[in-house]
A = this chain, B = another copy of it.
């Protein structure tokens, strides 16, 4: 159910200061702290002696000391000090360490066995750009991460679930007004694009900047395996290139905590935050509770044409997970 060889967001760099933090990723508690040079270090968060949570330990340069009996682990996860009795270090007194990278204010974690490749990290350059009023945040979602992917890859829910917030006109749902395109890029990213030409007025969220004039509205979602998504919302003058007008980008980094829970890190404009927290999250959780299996298809869903992007992403992911498991065998 999990793709291990992939970069996952492990949080916002600004939230990792002097104290270690802990994050359960794919059922494993991970401890993350800054070493002597300030660079992040990540390893399994459970001391193999008595299973104490290392996140409660003390950082000593690049090392971390277990809070229970004082065993010290280096950044490779090897126990290098047993302060007791004969001081011998048993062979299994070590934990797995993981590649972790700080980039554009994001911590990226690689949990797989294959060597990590920083060039595969998502391009997040605009997070450093002052032109975008940025809000970073976190939601803990009680649903499988692929349920959140489905939600983001099928934006046709906006006029219904988000009628009171980011909304949209349900009249536009049907027929030629809404142009939808979908493609998979060479590097395996899924693009799910929505265009409404000559929308009479913008959704309420754009009105303060755009006024009530008609224009071309675009919502373009890009998914990158395992589960990072970028959404560009745009309002452009009629028939103008999409780079003209208003542009509001957002990131949605999903991290499987367990089969039924997801860490959801987001970076977006403040005005759309409420839609995700108050409308999407409760709905996704309610849907998950109504399902008899974590596997969507085992629930025999009624599949619509508008599900194409989500379904395609699930299939790509399933294929990658299968390939990864076969390598391991």
Q: At the interface, yes or no: A29 with Cβ under 8 Å from chain B?
A: yes
A289-327 interface with B by 8 A CB criterion: 290-291, 299-306
Q: Tell me the residues in window 37-74 of chain A with beta carbons closer than 8 Å to chain B beta carbons.
A: 46, 48-53, 56, 65-70
> Which A residues, 99 to 157, have Cβ-Cβ distances below 8 Å to chain B?
150, 154, 156-157
Contact string against B for A residues 155-167, beta-carbon threshold 8 Å, 1 for contact and 0 otherwise: 0110111000000
Q: Tell me which of B29, B51, B86, B302 contacts A92 (CB under 8 A).
A: B302
Query: Residue on B with the closest CB to A290?
Result: B51
Known contacts A53-B286, A290-B29: A304-B66 contact under CB 8 Å: no
Determine if A83 is an interface residue (Cβ-Cβ < 8 Å). Answer: yes
Given contacts A283-B67, A304-B49, is CB(A84)–CB(B156) below 8 Å?
yes
Residue of B nearest to A171 (CB): B83
A305–B84 Cα gap in the complex (Å)? Answer: 8
**Which B residues lie within 8 Å of A299 (CB)?**
51
Question: What distance in Å separates the Cβ of A167 from its nearest Cβ neighbour in chain B?
Answer: 12
| B residues in contact with A88, CB < 8 Å | 304-305
Known: A79-B302, A173-B83. Contact between A157 and B69, CB under 8 A?
Answer: yes
- Residues from chain B with Cβ under 8 Å of A219 in the complex: none
* 9 nearest CB pairs, A to B: A85-B305, A83-B173, A93-B302, A84-B306, A51-B290, A70-B160, A90-B302, A51-B287, A48-B302
A selection of 15 A-B contacts at a CB cut-off of 8 Å is: A48-B300, A49-B303, A51-B291, A56-B283, A65-B160, A67-B283, A68-B283, A68-B287, A70-B156, A79-B302, A82-B304, A83-B174, A84-B156, A84-B304, A85-B180
The residue on B at minimum CB distance from A70 is B160
Query: Smallest Cβ distance from A24 to chain B, in angstroms?
Result: 11
Q: How far is the CA of A303 from the CA of B48 in the complex (A)?
A: 9
Please give, as numbers and ranges, the residues of chain B lying within 8 Å of A46 by CB-CB distance.
290
Asked if B69 and A156 sit within 8 Å, CB to CB, the answer is yes
With A83-B173, A174-B83, A174-B84 as contacts: A90 and B303 at CB distance below 8 Å: yes
Q: Does A241 contact B (CB under 8 A)?
A: no
In the assembled complex, the Cα of A98 lies from the Cα of B313 at a distance in Å of 37
Within 8 A of B (CB), among A162-218: 170, 173-174, 180
